[in-house]
Structure 1
Amino acid sequence: MNDTDVLIVGAGPTGLTLAASLLHDGVRVTLIDRRAEGATTSRAAAVNARTLEVLGRIDVTRRLIKEGITAPRFTIRDGAAVLVPIDFSGLDTEHPYTLLIPQNVTERLLLERVRELGGDVVRDTTLLSFEEGRDGITATFDGWDAIRAAYLVGADGMHSTVREQAGIGFEGSSYEHAFVLADAVLHGDEPSDTPTDEVRLFWASEGLTVVAPLPDGTFRIVAPIDDAPEHPTTRFVQGLLDARGAGGVTVTDVTWGSRFRVHHRVADTYRKGRILLAGDAAHVHSPAGGQGMNLGIQDAVALGDALTRVLRGGPEALLDEYADARRPIAQQVIELTDRLTRLATLPRPLRPIRNVLLGILGRIPAARNGLAARLSGLVYR
C-alpha cells in the first residue's frame, strides 16, 4: 500500500493549486518544499481571466478577487501616446480583466484552501532521490522519512530536482538582457498618470517598462536593462521612468526590488512513467505578458483532473493527454513572450520604427482582440 496517492515536490502556486485540486476530489496528497516558509515578496502579480476561471473549481477565485484589484485595460504606449489599446471588458468570461495581486498573497490564499481541505506543506525538506517501481515511486528525503506514492509530480521550479533526476531534457536558452523589478510608491502630476485600473507597457527608444498597480497602493515596475542593480533605489527607478516615457510621476519610495535574468525553455516531455511535471519545472519564459504563474496554475488544474480520473480507475493514457495538451500551450506562450521580449530589446536605432508599426497594428480591431485573447489566457481554453 502506498503512503500517499500523489507526492508533489514544490509548494509554490503550481504545487499548492495541484494539492488543492486533488484534495478537493478526495485524493491523498503529500506536498513537500525545501523552503522553510512560503513566498514573502510580491514577485508574480498578474492573474489572468483563464486562471480565475479554473481556480473557481476549488473555491479560490472569490478569495483572490477580494484581496486584489482589477485592471480591465492594458495599453502599449510611446510616452503619453497609446500605440495599442487592449480592453478586456468585452471578453466572454466572468472575469474580463487582469487581477493584480502579489504572489505571496496568492500563495497564502492557496495554502489556506489546502489546509481547509485537510492538507498542508511539509517544509524544510529536500528530495534526495526516487526510484520508480511497477506500482509506484519510492522517494527519499533529507530530514524526513521515505515516502511511497503512486505518482510523483515535479512542481519544483526551473532547477527542478524531479526533472533532472528523471533525465528529462529542458532545452532553450537565456536572454542577453537582465531585468529589474521594483514595487514603488508613485505620485502623478494628474490622476491619469497613475491609474489603478490599467496595466501600462511603455515602449520607448531607451527600452521597455511595465507599470502596473498593486492592491497596497504601490506600482509594479519591470524593465529590461543591461546594468540592472540588485537592489533598485528610488533614484534609479525615477531615472528609469523618466527616460522611458512614463513621465509625470514622482517615485517617493521603493518597497521591494530585485534583479533577474530570463530564460525560455520547455521540457522535452511532461510525463515519464509515473513522473509528471508542471509549472516552471516544465516551462520558463519571459515575464512579458504576465503568463508564467498563470500557465503553471492552469497546468496544475488540468493535471489534478487527469490524476484523479486515473486513480479512480481511468486509463493511464489520460496522463499522456495532459502532457500532449499542455506542452504545445507552453510553446505558444514562449513564442508570444519571446516575440514581445525581442521587440522590446531591439537595437536602439530600430525602436522608433517599431513604435510606428505598433501604432498601425493598434488600429486594427482583430489584432487587438487577438492579443486580448492571448494575454487573458482564454485562447487556451
Structure 2
Amino acid sequence: MKSTDVLVIGAGPTGLTLAADLRRRGVDVTVVDKVADGANTSRAAAVAARTLEVLEDLDVSRRMIAEGLVTPHFTMRDGERVLIPVDFSTLPTAYPFTLMLSQADTERILLQRLTELGGTVIRPLGLERLDQDGDGVTATFSDGSAMRARYVVGADGLHSRVREQAGIGFSGGEYPESFALADVRLSAPLDDEGVILFYAKSGLTVVAPLPDKVFRIVAPTADAPECPTVPYVQRLLDERGFGPGKTVVTEVIWGSRFRIQHRVADTYRAGRLLLAGDAAHVHSPAGGQGMNLGIQDAVALADALAAVLGGAPDSVLDDYSAARRPIARQVLALTGQLTRVATLPPLLRPVRNALMGLASHLPVVRHQLAWRLSGLVYR
C-alpha cells in the first residue's frame, strides 16, 4: 500500500496551494482529484492583495501578475452615476490592487509550481472511505486502491467527502436567488473602468475585466438560464448597466447559472482529518472572497502541518482551526451583507442607492471597503 505524510483530496486552488507549499517545505504529499484533467471551468476571477502576499514565498505571485490584469479600483454605480469608489492603490501592501485572473489560469500556475517542486496530481480518482486510527488514516478510492497517510486534508469543495467521512457538521443555508454567470466579449471594451458593480433598480450586475479583452458578467436573477445567450446577457446590461446599447455583447465564451449557500464547518479538524477552502466554508461570491479565503487557509495549514510533522505538538492543528474559522465567519458576514444589499426588493433600491451615495463622502467607508475586500484586514 502506498503511503504519504499528507494526502490532499481536491486539486482546486486550495488543494494545489497546500500541496505546493508542503512540497516546498520538504513534506511528502499526494494530491488526488475526482475530476479529469481540463474538466474545470473558469469560476473565481479576483485575486486579492492578501492572497498575493501569502503566495510570495511559494514564488507564485509574480507569475500570476504576469498573466493577470491589475485592477487598482472598483466602482459601485447606478448607471453612469458613481455611488461608491473603492480605491486599492493607497493600501499598505506591495500589491495595491485586485488581480483579475480566471480560476483556470490560477490552477494552471499553481499546478506548474507543484510540478516544479516534484509533486503531481492523481486524477480522476474519487475518495470512497476514510478509516483513521492512532497512527494515521487509510483512504480507499473508487478504483479499489488504498493509500496510507499520516494526515488527510479535505480541499474537495461544497460536497466534501472528507467532511462527510469526518462527521463534521456544515451549518448554514442557501440564498433564494439564482445567479447568471457569463464570460463575454464586448464591442467597446471598458478598458479603464476596472470592476463595476451596477446597483440598478432592476437588480445588481457585476462587470469585471479579465485578460484578453474578456469580461465576466455576474447577476442575481430569477430567470437565470443554464447557458446564458448573447441576447440574454445583452438584456441584463441594457437594463442594469450604462443603458440600452451603451455596452454591446458580441460573444458569450462560456456561461452557467448557479445558486449560492452560506455555511461554515463546525470545526476544521477531526483527529487526523482536516478541512480547508470550500470544504470548510462556502458563501456568496459578492466581493470575490471565496478562492482567496481558501488559498489563505492552505498556507496557514501548510505552516501547521509542517510544524507538527517536524515535531511540534499536535495541538498546533487545533490552533489552525481556531484561527481560520472565525475569519471564515467574518467573510460570511461581509458577503452576506453585500448580497442582501444587492438583492433588496425593487422599491427599496432607490433608497439604498441614495444612502450609498451619501456614505461615499465618508473616507472611512471607502477605506474600510478597500481594506476588507483586499483581505489585508486578515493579516
For structure 2, the residue ranges without an aligned partner over 5 or more in a row are none
Check conservation: 1:130, 1:138, Cα contact below 8 A.
yes
Counterpart CA distance in 2 for 1:361 and 1:306 is 41
Q: 1:218: Cα distance to partner?
A: 1.1
Partner of residue 253, structure 1: 251
2:171 corresponds to 1:175: no
The residue number in structure 1 matching 2:71 is: 71
Amino acid in the other structure paired with 1:90:
T
Task: Give 2:117's aligned amino acid.
Answer: L
Q: Percent identity?
A: 63
| Amino acid across the alignment from 2:316 | L
1:50 equivalent in structure 2: 50
The letter of the residue matching 1:341 is T
Contact 2:304 2:317 (C-alpha < 8 Å) held by counterparts: yes
Question: Counterpart amino acid of 2:218?
Answer: V
Of residues 292-301 and 246-255 in structure 1, the stretch that sits farther from structure 2 once superposed is: 246-255
- Structure 2 SS opposite 1:289: coil
Q: What whole-Å deviation, never above 9, does each CA across 1:103-126 have from its counterpart, x for those lacking one?
A: 111101100001100010000111
1:350 aligns with 2:348: yes
Give every structure 1 segment of 4 or more consecutive aligned residues whose post-TM-superposition deviation is greater than 2 Å.
Answer: 38-41
Match of 1:147 in 2: 147
* Residue pairs, 1:212-291, within 5 angstroms: 212-247=208-243, 248-291=246-289
Alpha-carbon distance in structure 2 between the residues aligned to 1:36 and 1:198: 34
Structure 1 unaligned regions, length at least 5: none
CA distance in 1, matches of 2:308, 2:38: 30
Over 3 Å counting, the alpha-carbon distance change for 1:2 and 1:321 in structure 2 is farther
Q: CA–CA distance in 2 between the matches of 1:311 and 1:24?
A: 14
TM-score by length of 1: 0.97
Cα distance in 1 for residues equivalent to 2:172 and 2:38? 28
Residue 204 of structure 2 is matched in structure 1 by 208
CA distance in 2, matches of 1:239, 1:291: 27
Encode CA deviations 1:212-254: one digit per residue, 9 max, x unaligned: 1010111000000001001111111111011013332111111
Provide the C-alpha distance between the structure 1 equivalents of 2:54 and 2:192, rounded to a whole number of angstroms. 25
Could you report, residue by residue, the CA deviation over 1:261-288 in whole angstroms, capped at 9, with x for unpaired residues?
0000000000111110000000000000
Q: Give how far 1:187 is off.
A: 2.5
Question: Could you say if the C-alpha distance between residues 147 and 197 of structure 1 is closer, same or farther in structure 2, counting changes exceeding 3 Å?
Answer: farther
Cα distance between partner residues in 2 of 1:246 and 1:41: 28
Amino acid at match of 1:125: L
Shift of 1:168: 0.3
* d(CA) in 1 for partners of 2:338, 2:323: 24
Paired amino acid for 2:358:
I
Whether 1:330 aligns to 2:328 is: yes
Cα contact 2:2–2:146 (8 A) shared by 1:
no
1:318 counterpart residue number: 316
Asked if structure 2 preserves the Cα contact closer than 8 Å seen for 1:14 and 1:279, the reply is: yes
Quick one: which amino acid aligns to residue 54 of structure 1?
V
Match status 1:366 vs 2:364: yes
What does the per-residue CA deviation read over 1:15-41, in whole Å, with 9 as the maximum and x for residues that have no partner?
A: 000000000000000100001114542
Distance 1:43 1:196 in 2: 23
Matched residue, 2:185 = 185
The alpha-carbon deviation at position 330 of structure 1 amounts to 0.4
CA-CA distance at 1:3 after TM superposition? 1.2
Would the aligned equivalents of 1:45 and 1:103 in 2 still touch at CA under 8 Å? yes
In structure 2, the residue corresponding to 1:249 is in which secondary structure? coil
Letter in 2 for 1:270: Y
Q: Secondary structure at the match of 1:108?
A: helix
Counterpart Cα distance in 1 of 2:154 and 2:339: 27
Give distance in 2, aligned partners of 1:183 and 1:130.
38
SS at match of 1:308: helix
Q: Look up the SS of the partner of 1:3 in the other structure.
A: strand
Alpha-carbon distance, 1:130 to partner: 1.0
Aligned AA for 1:330?
A
- After superposition, the C-alpha distances for 1:56-97 in whole angstroms (9 at most, x for unaligned) are 110111110111010000111111111110110000000000
Check whether the contact 1:196–1:213 (CA below 8 A) recurs between aligned residues. Answer: no
Task: Give the deviation of 1:143 after TM superposition.
Answer: 1.8
The CA distance in 1 between the partners of 2:207 and 2:117, in whole Å, is 37
Q: Report the aligned-residue RMSD.
A: 1.2
Tell me, in whole angstroms, the C-alpha distance in 1 between the residues paired with 2:12 and 2:298.
11
Q: Which residue of 1 aligns with 2:291?
A: 293
Q: Secondary structure at the match of 1:203?
A: strand
Instruction: Give the drift of 1:316.
Output: 1.2
- CA contact under 8 A between 1:44 and 1:293: conserved in structure 2? yes
CA distance in 1, matches of 2:249, 2:58: 39
Report the AA paired with residue 4 of structure 2. T
Match of 2:6 in 1: 6
Aligned position for 2:377: 379
Letter in 2 for 1:211: V
**TM-score (normalizing by structure 2):** 0.98
Alignment of 1:164 onto 2:167: no
Output the CA distance in 2 between the equivalents of 1:115 and 1:254. 33
Q: What amino acid maps onto 1:234 in structure 2? A: V
Q: Deviations over 1:280-309 (max 9, x none)?
A: 000000000000000000000000011000
* Alpha-carbon distance in structure 2 between the residues aligned to 1:311 and 1:44: 32
